Amino acid sequence: MTASSTFGLSSEARNLHWLLTNLVEEVPGLLSVAVVSSDGLLLLSSDPGRNAEARTAETERPSGPKGSSADLATIVSGIGSLTIGAAKLMDAGGVKQTMVAMDEGSVFVMSISDGSLLGVHGSPDCDMSVVAYHMALFVGRAGHVLTPELRSELRKSLESDSMGSTR
């Protein structure tokens, strides 16, 4: 994320951008991070931009599933929906976190607030306990500020960023 991507945003939105950047920079092995609304829309991502310059950088540093934060948002939304359904069927209460370990990486999903989710794609050698700890810190800090108004602002910001990258 660049300073230009936060220009014109509220202090709460800039704070969430800062928290996400901090998460990515502090935790080794994170490839991509996304905050997703309860309806599956991407609100915030570690993807520095959805423009040609960012796409050429993907060849130098792996980012997310197929290189796209939108792909990670789709995966996070699906995993979130599946686990919420499972918890209801099992009468087990709310879902706090989900982790999927694969041969070549991991996906972590954690509830934030009002159905919003934090999703992380990690490398095969990431320390799962460190990732979970830092995700919990993010959720604790972000949960109380992720209001409907802020979610709307973040969506509009992403939409205007993607409109600018297609020109």
Residue 3: which pLDDT band, with cuts at 50, 70 and 90? very low
**116: CB partners within 8 A, 6+ apart:** 35, 36, 37, 38, 43, 146, 151
11-26 vs 128-142: helix crossing angle, rounded to 10: 170
d(CA 77, CA 11): 26
Q: What is the amino acid identity at position 102?
A: M
For the chain, domain boundaries: 3-165
Residues 145-163: tens digit of each pLDDT: 888 888 889 888 887 766 6
pLDDT of residue 115: 84
Q: Residue 53 region, left (φ>0) first, then alpha (ψ -120 to 50), else beta?
A: alpha
Q: What is the mean pLDDT of residues 110-115?
A: 88
What is the per-residue pLDDT for 143?
Answer: 85
More confident residue, 102 or 58: 102
Please state, in angstroms and rounded to a whole number, the distance separating the CA atoms of residues 81 and 77.
6
The answer as to CATH 3.40.50.300 being correct for domain 3-165 is: no
Determine the pLDDT at residue 134. 96
Partnered with residue 46 across adjacent β-strands are none
Confidence at 46, pLDDT banded by 50, 70, 90: confident
| High-pLDDT (> 90) share of the chain, % | 53
pTM above 0.85, yes or no: no
> Is the Cβ–Cβ distance between 73 and 67 less than 8 Å?
no
What mean pLDDT is predicted for residues 67-74? Answer: 80
* pLDDT grade for 164, boundaries at 50, 70 and 90: low
The CA distance from 86 to 157, in Å, is: 33
Average pLDDT over residues 83-89: 95
Instruction: Reply yes or no on whether the pLDDT at 81 is more than 70.
Output: yes
What digits encode the pLDDT tens for the residues 59-70? 444 444 545 778
